[in-house]
Amino acid sequence: MRFITSALLVATPALAIPAAEIFSRQGTCATSSNYAAVNEKQLPDPWKFADGKPVATAADWTCRQAEMSKMLQQYELGDLPGPPDSLTATLSGTTLTLNIKVGSNSKTVAVTFSKGSSQAAIIGVGGISIPVPSSVGKINFGNDACAAQQNSGSHGSGWFFDLHGKSHSAGATTAWAWCVGRIIDGLEQLGVEKTGIDPKKLGVTGCSRNGKGAFMVGALNPRIALTIPQESGSGGAACWRISDSEKSKGKNIQTASQIVGENAWFSPKFNSVTGKTSTIPEDHHFLAALVAPRGLFVIENDIDWLGPVSTTACMKAGRQIYKALGVGPNMGFSLVGGHSHCQFPSGTTENLNSYINTFLLGQGKTNDVETSKTTVNMADWTSNWSAAPTGIKLA
């Protein structure tokens, strides 16, 4: 995974960089192709490289993000490919058609969208369950066609795998992140004058299984300005270690061991380590770290299966990272219970709009949200962390 430098990200939260340029910058960070297993019951330290070196500068942070991404890809996500060999976009009304070529394989994909009164838009991974203001457009991403999520045996089905090969290591959520990158490529290629959508003002959302995907799309696509995963639970906003801990206490909660038998969201690489998550040198607070300092608003529920203790503690850890980077308000966490799965609580609308207004419309500032009635002891999960560096302030 390639990351734009922290200095460029500070310039504007919605900055868009062509995919090829993002990928060309990886050479500035020396990342390993193989990271050793660990023995860490607490969440891995974001402020220390795998070799023990402390993260001390903004340049270090950019490289640590690249390392985090590589770890996630090695252990659970599978490999994220680079840009395609070629992509040509055409437009007919509000249908964007992409002609994509990878090696000798080619695919034609159509994406429909609607425009708002502004040039901002939110990409819906399998649909949109949040209220979207009329000023913001909607882009319909058919993630199941990109990479199937029918069951654990559906790995290798979809147009991502038609392009990259049936045996590619990417899980479905990683494939979705790559496919969304191609939509952004198309929007950039055609330009806002033709599409009415500014690729520098894109958000992404999805709920439940598609919320896991939305989180992955935002974490692996630096061109997404605002990421809004809704009720993503385990595999999204929850941390594997914390979910396992909750399971051991008798909670009815989705864990890594269960999730790989349910569906193809994660790489086959993940299968061998789901029963020993304390050996993985990463966890899902790293997803928040990869989005930083861009906009992130995480919406959760108090349903046991989603793991409210796990999502609360994991995203509090993510908020600690944002705060240490000097951009605390850029990440919000809202766990409001008492409603059905994927039913958006109306009382959260103001907080949601504050993130949409800030990161997509360039208006006002966020409400700096951290809402959860779930009690957690963060010392159980982050007391092993190094002191946050004082030399990194991205705001």
SS (H, E, C) 64-123: HHHHHHHHHHHHHHCCCCCCCCEEEEEEECCEEEEEEEECCEEEEEEEEEECCCCCCEEE
Beta bridge partners of 203: 122, 226
Q: Which domains does the chain possess? A: 57-86+113-383 (3.40.50.1820)
Say if CB 228 and CB 362 are below 8 A apart.
Answer: no
Q: Helical H runs in 267-376? A: 285-291, 308-324, 349-359
Backbone angles phi, psi at 188, to 5 degrees: -65, -40
pTM above 0.85, yes or no: yes
Q: How far apart are CA 246 and CA 227, in angstroms?
A: 27
Which of 208, 245, 354, 372 is an active site residue?
A: 208
pLDDT, tens only, 339-362: 999 999 999 999 999 999 999 999
pLDDT of residue 33: 86
3-state secondary structure of 38: coil
Q: Which residue has the tokens 């640590």?
A: 64
pLDDT of residue 269: 97
In a structure prediction context, what are the per-residue pLDDT tens digits for the chain, which is 395 residues long? 333 333 333 333 433 334 443 343 345 788 898 999 999 999 999 999 999 999 999 999 999 999 999 999 999 999 999 999 999 999 999 999 999 999 999 999 999 999 999 999 999 999 999 999 999 999 999 999 999 999 999 999 999 999 999 999 999 999 999 999 999 999 999 999 999 999 999 999 999 999 999 999 999 999 999 999 999 999 999 999 999 999 999 999 999 999 999 999 999 999 999 999 999 999 999 999 999 999 999 999 999 999 999 999 999 999 999 999 999 999 999 999 999 999 999 999 999 999 999 999 999 999 999 999 999 999 999 999 999 998 888 87
pLDDT of residue 13: 40
Q: Which residues does 313 contact at the CB level (< 8 Å), separation at least 6?
A: 239, 242, 376, 378, 380, 381
pLDDT of residue 150: 96
Strands 202-207 and 137-141: unpaired
pLDDT of residue 9: 35
168 is catalytic: no
208 is catalytic: yes
